[in-house]
Structure 1
Amino acid sequence: MSETPLTPENPVQPGAPEAAVERELAVQARQLDAADPLAELRGRFALDSADARASGAADIYLDGNSLGALPRAVPDRIADVIHREWGELRIRSWTESGWWTAPERVGDKIAPLIGAGPGRVVVGDSTSVNLFKAVVGGVRMAGKGCTEILVDATTFPTDGYIARSAARMTGLAVRPVEPARIADEVTERTALALVNHVDYRTGELNDLPGITTALHSAGALAVWDLCHSAGALPVGLDAHHVDLAVGCTYKYLNGGPGSPAFLYVRESLQERFESPLPGWNSHADPFAMDPAYTPAQGIARGRVGTPDILSLLALEAALEAWDGVAIEDVRTKSLALTDFFLACVAAYVPAGRARSVTPLNHRRRGSQVSLACSGAGEVMDELIRRGVVGDYRQPNVLRFGFTPLYTSFTDVERAAWVLGEVLGALPEVGPAAAGAGG
């Protein structure tokens, strides 16, 4: 894990008094909020009142990269689903309320946010289940003579677990490779590579276009995990000819805890895609109850069993928060928020107490900032006690996620100020770089 000294693009003079620094950056934050074209979107979420924010009593929520905030449209929609669609219409809602078509319909709502056309995304099951479908389905489409699956060596653990299980079932080997090395390591024996678009620890953005092209040049397929990029930045699945992709919906898409994940299959591959989990919902004629399985046409073959209607329709309502929003504008604000946070941390945090493990280069940064510091777990506990909600990863990484639909520049400035107070109150310790990793 590399570390980057905190050197803001618009540095505050190091000799300036703390009060003056705070006042200058707080004023700058208010100016940035006033000019922010996405600022009004915060009102689409059930966060805090304007009075609470003005008094400093509201929590600053910087953990949307783990669980997004509640969109205001969701409670009323779910109440209607429970009381009318389930309570009154009951079984009729599968047709009259559109329950049966919800996996594809919600998939089409997510598709523009990840650069996919209609009919290429289906929603249902967990990320892990969709990873299994994608990896095994990808191996089945790979050329004869393939002997290995490449796995992002920095991946979220579940991806590795699933890849190894899929490899055992298909008789292939798994080879971990750093994402930057995949282009050099792929061979004609590689069936596919499973890669995280954004590193969950560091927030580093991997090169989806370049890695996908390199895999295709060797005859391998590209399978991407979009959990930390869907809803945070443009992905361009169709434009970059990605083969298969999966992602969760409870982070930047704000679908709620445990909301169903999505599966993307490139249109030209759909008729060849053979799911390792053939269920009645993906049958060409589900209600025929035929003992012989015939897959449905198109993306519907990515379905398995009966969808989780309550979570699925909560997600559909949550996606209304994206109405009229361009993902390119979200990316612009994301980079501005993370730049400003790094600048504020550089101004407020005592020298040597924290180092960024998130790249400063915009082309290599997702929508989070990770800081290495000693005692990160205890530091985060204290931040949360003071109303700044982020999270940490062992052994020493503080993670701050920035959701442009509702995170403000004022949030960012206050969070960095509190972080500076917390770290400044700690006894002197060794360099923040010591033991960074994980």
Structure 2
Amino acid sequence: MATTRDWAEHLDANDELAAYRDRFVPIADPGVVAYLDGNSLGRPLLATAERLDRLVHQEWGSRLIRSWGEGWLTLPERIGDELGRVAIGAAPGQVIVADSTSVCLYKTVRAALALRPGRTEIVTDASNFPTDRFIVDGIAEQFGLTVKRISSDPLTGVRADEVAAAVGDDTAVIVLSHVDYRSAAIADMAAITRIVHDRGALAVWDLCHSVGAMPVELDAADVDFAVGCTYKFLNAGPGAPAFLYVNSKLHKDFRQPITGWIGAEDIFAMADRFRPAAGIRSALSGTPPITGMVGVDEGVALLAEVGVDRVRAKAQALGRWVIELADEWLVPLGFTVASPRSDELRGAHVMLRHPDAERLSQKLIDNGVIIDFRNPDGIRVGLSPLTTGYVEVWHAMDVIRGA
């Protein structure tokens, strides 16, 4: 494959998703050469801006509190069902939009522990995303449980054989990320979940770096619980609400620890005692964040229009392009490609390692290449298929080799 700008222009000209870039708010900052951090914060949709204007002036500004009964109250379930259908392979009634990823993770881990009384151990990856590890540690400390950590290789992610060696009779739940936040290595969700179930435990999966970038099949893998954010590849906006998934087979006995009024059987009964709503709605706690949900709704709608398989195909192609350029331009300069080279094993970003990565990262950002640094020596190149072009990547990599 050529590594010229002309070839990058050829790739853009033949990109069937290129036209979707016009659906996003243009980057007004003329100093930005490339935005390769959409795996941390996706770009805003024009449709979201229009929808927010309608929300403020019509639904909120005119209909006022009446809008709760005209659709707002059902948004968490309605959007959750569509997200489940479009992005994560979940049948209706199992996904709901609620809270932050951290709160959703807390709820699901606590619920899993309650379903496995007498078991005293939580298993996670020693290199899992910090929030996941901190929440697991906090729950374990609160309830006197043991945390067992798998020491995985970030380049390969957590392997099924490592899980088999770690999970035992005392394990109540295992908490893992589907895509490693550093290397983009994809875990074998189905195989790992089977192993966990064979040991009598439950699995909670973090989908933050996979939802919206690749197909996920929660029902097919018989996953118990899953959580994920919406502000990365779903482009829902900073701090947009996350979602959680509870397999329908667990609904009868599912109990989450933050029992707020919106998750009650009758929210207007003002009852003396909490009685959970039927099904996934019992996972809710407080009032739904309607302004944030607008972005989720529009992001999911665009993904439904495009198709997650086409998004995945472009993410793989962009990853190959980054690795090709890195091998020719950057490896001779002391960089290392620290992501899987196989398309099937790599998510939608590529990690480049360099001993001076922290300084280089700031220099790149100062020169208009928006990436992020991951301690201790990683430069993460995020590839959002609906907004990232091949020439954009070429320019970014050219800046990196000159940094």
| Fold in common (TM above 0.5) | yes
SS of residue paired to 1:345: helix
**How many Å apart are 1:171 and its aligned residue?**
3.7
Say whether 1:164 aligns with 2:137: yes
Structure 2 Cα separation of the partners of residues 228 and 413 of structure 1: 23
SS of residue paired to 1:68: coil
Q: Pick from 324, 334, 337 the counterpart of residue 343 of structure 1.
A: 324
**How many Å apart are 1:405 and its aligned residue?**
1.0
Q: Pick from 89, 102, 105 the counterpart of residue 78 of structure 2.
A: 105
Seq. identity, %: 41
Write the mapping of 1:152-191 to structure 2, written as runs, cut at 5 A.
152-177=125-150, 178=152, 179-180=158-159, 181-191=162-172
**How many Å apart are 1:283 and its aligned residue?**
0.6
**How many Å apart are 1:320 and its aligned residue?**
2.9
Structure 2 unaligned residues grouped into runs of 5+: 153-157
Aligned length: 394
Q: Contact 2:76/2:96 (CA < 8 Å) preserved in 1?
A: yes
SS of residue paired to 1:405: coil
Q: Pick from 41, 51, 54 the counterpart of residue 80 of structure 1.
A: 54
Q: Contact 1:202/1:370 (CA < 8 Å) preserved in 2?
A: yes
Write the mapping of 1:380-395 to structure 2, written as runs, cut at 5 A.
380-395=361-376
**How many Å apart are 1:228 and its aligned residue?**
0.8
**How many Å apart are 1:48 and its aligned residue?**
4.3
**How many Å apart are 1:57 and its aligned residue?**
6.3
Structure 2 Cα separation of the partners of residues 410 and 198 of structure 1: 26
**How many Å apart are 1:350 and its aligned residue?**
5.8
Structure 2 Cα separation of the partners of residues 318 and 214 of structure 1: 34
Q: Contact 1:226/1:247 (CA < 8 Å) preserved in 2?
A: yes
User: Please, what TM-score do these two structures have when normalized by structure 1?
Assistant: 0.86
Structure 2 Cα separation of the partners of residues 104 and 300 of structure 1: 7
SS of residue paired to 2:183: coil
Q: Pick from 297, 300, 303 the counterpart of residue 319 of structure 1.
A: 300
**How many Å apart are 1:26 and its aligned residue?**
1.5
1:109-156 CA distance string (max 9 Å, x none)? 2112011122111001111100000000011112x4312010121111
1:294-337 CA distance string (max 9 Å, x none)? 11111101100111111112322333322422211111111110
Q: Pick from 250, 263, 287 the counterpart of residue 244 of structure 2.
A: 263
**How many Å apart are 1:271 and its aligned residue?**
1.7
**How much is the aligned-residue C-alpha RMSD, in angstroms?**
1.7
Q: Contact 2:148/2:166 (CA < 8 Å) preserved in 1?
A: no
1:387-414 CA distance string (max 9 Å, x none)? 2111101221101110111111111212
Say whether 1:115 aligns with 2:96: no
Write the mapping of 1:348-427 to structure 2, written as runs, cut at 5 A.
348-349=329-330, 351-422=332-403
| Structure-2 residue corresponding to 1:217 | 198
1:81-136 CA distance string (max 9 Å, x none)? 1122212211101012x111111111122112011122111001111100000000
1:52-77 CA distance string (max 9 Å, x none)? 9xxx9653110011100011101111
| Structure-1 residue corresponding to 2:155 | none
Segment drifting more, 251-260 vs 110-119: 110-119
SS of residue paired to 2:176: strand
SS of residue paired to 1:273: coil
Q: Contact 1:124/1:312 (CA < 8 Å) preserved in 2?
A: no
